[in-house]
Amino acid sequence: MTTVPGRRSGVAAPDTPDRIDANSRIRQDPSVLTSGRLGHALAASLLLAALAGCTSATSSAPPPAPVASPSPSPSATVSAAEAGEQLMRRRAAGPTGSQYAPSNGVVDLDGTVDALLGPAAGPDAKADTKGRLAADGFVVALRHSWTAPDGTRADTLLLRFTAEAGAGSTASRVARNLRSAHAESTFGDPGDLSTGVVVSALDDRGEACVVQVAPHGDAVVLMNYCTPATPDKKTAVLRFTDQLRLLPTPGLPW
């Protein structure tokens, strides 16, 4: 994976109504939580276990104590609305001709939990995940999904936190559980602190996926990149790196 340079990059063009597919196939499949197989969207992946730090969807363990940061990040001084607008300006566009999911946009803490766990998640799982994100200093998130003309899909969640320590805590928890669930196909890059797994087993769409996560300053980038029949790790890494490059250099204003 290419190391992300310490510079700002251009921003992606915003979604326009004519590019949004109202019949987008972004769906959620809670069955993967027990099958150990990554699904076809972020909400359908093993992120429930990853964010909760366990393999049970009904963990009653209390959330960890908030993580202190020696110096607050820019997110600590802006409103959730402003932070959300900043994320919108930093999202990566899909290939030419891509169709964008109608669910795309800025989401609050409850919306983020719903995006991660799906509608079938129980109240205990939702409360546990919500508590852990809140303890890490969650500010706001952005859902961004597209489907390219060739059937390739990317489901991305960008999360903002009040400090880099909180972003690092969430990213580390997700990465640890990804490695645990798919130790045989884990990869990473110490340059951008990313962790990824390749899931070759096809989902119910006949797709294979590559899931990647990385902290970047006070943000976390989480991407599920799926292709028909065969996983495309090389392109998945390039897409993930493109998104990281659109974010500001850690410590600098958004």
Q: What's the per-residue H, E or C state across the chain?
A: CCCCCCCCCCCCCCCCHHHECCCCCCCCCCCHHHHCCCCCCHHHCCHHHHHHCCCCCCCCCCCCCCCCCCCCCHHHHCCHHHHHHHHHHCCCCCCCCCEECCCCEEECHHHHHHHHHCCCCCHHHHHHHHHHHHHCCEEEEEEEEEECCCCCEEEEEEEEECCHHHHHHHHHHHHHHHHHHCHHHEEEECCCCEEEEEECCCCCCCEEEEEEEEEECCEEEEEEEEEECCCCHHHHHHHHHHHHHHCCCCCCCC
pLDDT of residue 115: 83
Q: Which positions ≥6 away from 23 have C-beta within 8 Å? A: none
Please check the confidence at residue 218 and state whether its pLDDT lies above 50.
yes
Could you tell me which residue, 95 or 70, shows the higher pLDDT? Answer: 95
| Average pLDDT value over all residues in the chain | 77
Assigned CATH class of 73-109+138-246:
alpha beta
Q: Range with the lowest mean pLDDT among 9-13, 178-182, 247-251?
A: 9-13
Please state, for a pLDDT cut of 70, what percent of the chain lies above it.
70
Please check the confidence at residue 70 and state whether its pLDDT lies above 80.
no
Please check the confidence at residue 162 and state whether its pLDDT lies above 50.
yes
Confidence band of 74 (pLDDT split at 50, 70, 90): low
Domain boundaries, the chain: 73-109+138-246
Could you report the per-residue pLDDT of 128-144, keeping only the tens digit for each? 999 999 999 999 999 99
Please check the confidence at residue 240 and state whether its pLDDT lies above 80.
yes
Could you report the per-residue pLDDT of 92-124, keeping only the tens digit for each? 999 999 999 998 999 999 999 988 887 788 999
Tell me which residue of 177, 174, 20 sits closest to 112, measured CA to CA.
174
Please check the confidence at residue 19 and state whether its pLDDT lies above 50.
no
The model's pTM is 0.74
pLDDT of residue 120: 81
Question: Do 175 and 223 meet the contact criterion of CB atoms below 8 Å apart?
Answer: no
- Length of the chain (residues): 254
Which of 3-7, 14-18, 172-176, 232-236 shows the highest mean pLDDT?
Answer: 232-236
